[in-house]
Structure 1
Amino acid sequence: MFSIVLNVIGSLFHFYVAHRLYRLDPVRTRVPATAWWVGAVLLWLVYLAGVHLGDEAIDWRWWPGQFALTWLGVMFVMTLCLLAADIATGFGFWWRARAQRVLGIAAVAGVVLAGFAIFQGVRAPVVVEQEVVMPNLPAALDGIVVVMVTDLHLGAQRRADWMEDRVAQINALNPAAVLMVGDQVEDNPLGEPRLATALRGLKAPRGVWAVTGNHEFYGDVETTVREFEDGGVRWLRDRKVELAPGLVLAGIEDVGSRMRAGGTITADLDALLPASTNMATILLSHIPAAPVIDMAAARGVGLMLSGHTHGGQIWPFSYLVQHRFPQLVGQHQVDQMALVISRGAGSWGPRMRLWQPGEIVKITLRAPRPADPT
């Protein structure tokens, strides 16, 4: 079904862009119509073949699959720019003296924006710093640093060598703990022995912890779990641990997987935290689902970490994603709980991001200040 949707949407974008570009005099006067449209159809067939093959296989099939997804992203950005020009000029029926120029500027803008989006998608994630005051955090833990990394989407696009570079980035932040908040893999287990070596390079005295995201369940989740365990990663699958004296770390399984199995969206959290806690508690939940956020705040969680939204990844999808997840990205306050949502270190689908690059989040925890004497 998903491939059918990509076929239809991608085809519409492709032929709309081809049609509008051929309206430009510099193109139409230099390229015969037959050659242009034969080339457009051949490129479209390559796109369809790539969608069919997919990009999740970690072999030669990745190349046509990734071409298809990238082409879809490029055509989407081009369509936005060209459609804006067409609306401004009434598809050439008014403002005729300037219609060609406006369309040409839109075409150049589309190419530039698509190129920038690809650059933002392939560049190394940036480090974003957050400071969070946690209720009940012991004074002895004031200033402790945890690093949050989510939506790595390791797979054909990002292999163990890419992860090695992320390990170096994370280690440079001197974290007490590393928290991996779901979608560590694109779909299938990575299947590279080198991954375990890379993960064992993480230097975090209080451990490296992970929860599952929806993409782990699109493949063989248990094999993925073992791959990361071989690298020293410990999974919080509906369980909690004492990260440090007075600081609890809890993690729930991907809520989507539970709902597909017939459960409710908050059942796991309800079992994990059956009553309000007076301990400083960090909750890892890949999807920032509103019922989970509300229950976590009501149960006394001081900090909830999530990913999944990608910050919208390619503008203006951010507005659509925000309709589903109002707290799209960054730090938000929900009663006494801080909610931090990361746009992720990797990307899904086309390796493109418009406007923001991927991120790794450094979080400094602060103990509440004593009340001033009155």
Structure 2
Amino acid sequence: MTAGDAVQARPARRSLRPIASLLTLVAILALLFGVPWWTLTTGRAQWPAPLAAAGSAVFAVTLVAFPVLMYLGHGRRQRDWAARTGDTILGLVWILFVWALLGNVARLALAAVGVADPARSRLVAVGTLAVSAVLALWGYVEAMRVPRVRRVDVTLDRLAPGLDGLRVVLITDTHYGPIDRAGWSARTIAKVNELDADVVCHTGDIADGSVARRRAQAAPLGEVRARLARTYVTGNHEYLGEAQGWLDHMRDLGWEPLHNRHIVVRRDGAGLVVAGVDDRTAASSGSAGHRADHAAALSGADPDLPVLLLAHQPKQIDDAVAAGVDLQLSGHTHGGQMWPFHYLVRLDQPVVQGLRRHGRTQLYTSRGTGFWGPPFRIFAPSEITLLTLRAG
């Protein structure tokens, strides 16, 4: 192959990527909508023709409307009504897809015990629809409720006795967005304030949208009370919009934005370094001066003091271990948000939720305080985390 042939081949290969992406998207949508459609309206159930036609029409109209709604809601137009509708459809079709798959496994069991069609297919269809409806209703209530408080004790070997019992409250992934949750935000912060925190941390993904669009929902963050510090770092969703705007706004609300920097909190003669780094997507976001920089975050810190690090994604733990961090607090995963999505999250992140040890460094990953996209939480409850630090 000549050099000229190579130059011509590269653009040709690049031109196939959009086509491959489009085909992948079409395949995913075909599965998400097709499996429930087949399970609920299959001819083996021998539903009356008008009922089967009506069911098919609902799936067809929804399938056509869904990408349009997502484009209007999450594209450049940013129409909140479209985002709300599209996100809800996504959540409902995911629930139907999962339980349709499980229903078809049950179909095999019914066949094994001698249940024949059309009764078998009708049982699977009705069961899938009933379970999905119950889980959708329950999941919506779980998403909209004030998060429960999850209490965790963490022993740090280097923590001095003067800081034994330090109360750290973690909130994260509030995702103020197309659904106006200003009331929920106020009630959640009231719950935070009941916990009598020494330090309150927010580990990013405050909102989906600009400060101007989500100001009212974020306003209760200004009412958070903490004896020693209120600290914040950016998440990946800030880098889909205006990360610096949220850093500035949180400073205006009285928080300490830990943009690759640290502060020291002290009590009874003992000190704790509270540091923060930008999200791992910051470097590729195009935001000038933004990237995860652990060295900058800990520059000048007393090496004898324990370090509490705020980093949005659990997968930032390797850099935390290398930097000698004692405890990293993260969010991002939402605990999977909608079962069984946590299995896919686990492919990308080392931890989905809870406290884990990585050598000397410990990592706590919250299931998130809010939700993203579909307004459902299924087998992955939201949380406000109260971490009590204990001296080793």
TM-score by length of 1: 0.86
Q: Indicate the residue corresponding to 1:89 in structure 2.
A: 107
User: 1:222-260, CA deviations, whole angstroms, 9 ceiling, x for partnerless residues?
Assistant: 222222222112200000111224111000111211255
Report the AA paired with residue 112 of structure 1: V
Q: Indicate the residue corresponding to 2:236 in structure 1.
A: 214
Q: Indicate the residue corresponding to 2:311 in structure 1.
A: 285
Q: Indicate the residue corresponding to 2:335 in structure 1.
A: 311
Matched, 1:333 2:352: no
Please give the alpha-carbon distance, in whole angstroms, between the structure 1 residues aligned to 2:255 and 2:211: 15
1:336 shift after superposition? 2.1
User: CA 1:262–1:348 in 2, change beyond 3 Å: closer, same or farther?
Assistant: closer
Report the AA paired with residue 277 of structure 1: P
Matched, 1:66 2:66: no
Unpaired segments of 5 or more residues in structure 1? Answer: 369-374
Tell whether the 8 Å contact from 1:56 to 1:187 is kept in structure 2 after alignment: no
Equivalence map 1:93-108=2 (5 Å): 95=114, 97=116, 98-100=119-121, 101-108=123-130
1:167 shift after superposition? 1.1
Please give the alpha-carbon distance, in whole angstroms, between the structure 2 residues aligned to 1:213 and 1:321: 16
Report the AA paired with residue 255 of structure 1: R
User: CA 1:294–1:20 in 2, change beyond 3 Å: closer, same or farther?
Assistant: closer
1:24 shift after superposition? 7.9
Please give the alpha-carbon distance, in whole angstroms, between the structure 1 residues aligned to 2:22 and 2:189: 34
User: CA 1:117–1:11 in 2, change beyond 3 Å: closer, same or farther?
Assistant: farther
Report the AA paired with residue 73 of structure 1: G
Q: Indicate the residue corresponding to 2:155 in structure 1.
A: 133
Q: Indicate the residue corresponding to 1:271 in structure 2.
A: 296
Q: Indicate the residue corresponding to 1:168 in structure 2.
A: 190
Report the AA paired with residue 218 of structure 1: L
Q: Indicate the residue corresponding to 1:372 in structure 2.
A: none
Which one of the candidate residues 41, 48, 56 is aligned to 1:22? 41
Identity percentage of aligned residues: 31
1:58 shift after superposition? 10
Unpaired segments of 5 or more residues in structure 2? Answer: 1-17
User: 1:250-304, CA deviations, whole angstroms, 9 ceiling, x for partnerless residues?
Assistant: 00111211255699x9961133336993211101110112xx4234234332211
The more displaced of 126-135 and 100-109 is: 100-109
Report the AA paired with residue 278 of structure 2: E
Tell whether the 8 Å contact from 1:17 to 1:82 is kept in structure 2 after alignment: yes
Report the AA paired with residue 43 of structure 1: T
The more displaced of 158-167 and 191-200 is: 191-200
Please give the alpha-carbon distance, in whole angstroms, between the structure 1 residues aligned to 2:188 and 2:77: 20
User: CA 1:318–1:36 in 2, change beyond 3 Å: closer, same or farther?
Assistant: closer
Equivalence map 1:1-374=2 (5 Å): 9-23=28-42, 28-29=47-48, 31-55=50-74, 61-89=79-107, 95=114, 97=116, 98-100=119-121, 101-191=123-213, 194=216, 197-244=219-266, 245-259=270-284, 268-273=293-298, 277-289=303-315, 292-368=316-392
CA RMSD of aligned residues (A): 3.2
User: CA 1:213–1:227 in 2, change beyond 3 Å: closer, same or farther?
Assistant: same
1:202 shift after superposition? 1.1
The more displaced of 129-138 and 90-99 is: 90-99
1:144 shift after superposition? 1.3
The more displaced of 98-107 and 130-139 is: 98-107
Tell whether the 8 Å contact from 2:232 to 2:255 is kept in structure 1 after alignment: yes
User: CA 1:276–1:52 in 2, change beyond 3 Å: closer, same or farther?
Assistant: same
SS of the aligned residue for 1:42 comes to: helix
The more displaced of 165-174 and 331-340 is: 331-340
User: CA 1:56–1:202 in 2, change beyond 3 Å: closer, same or farther?
Assistant: farther
User: CA 1:105–1:34 in 2, change beyond 3 Å: closer, same or farther?
Assistant: closer
1:360 shift after superposition? 0.8
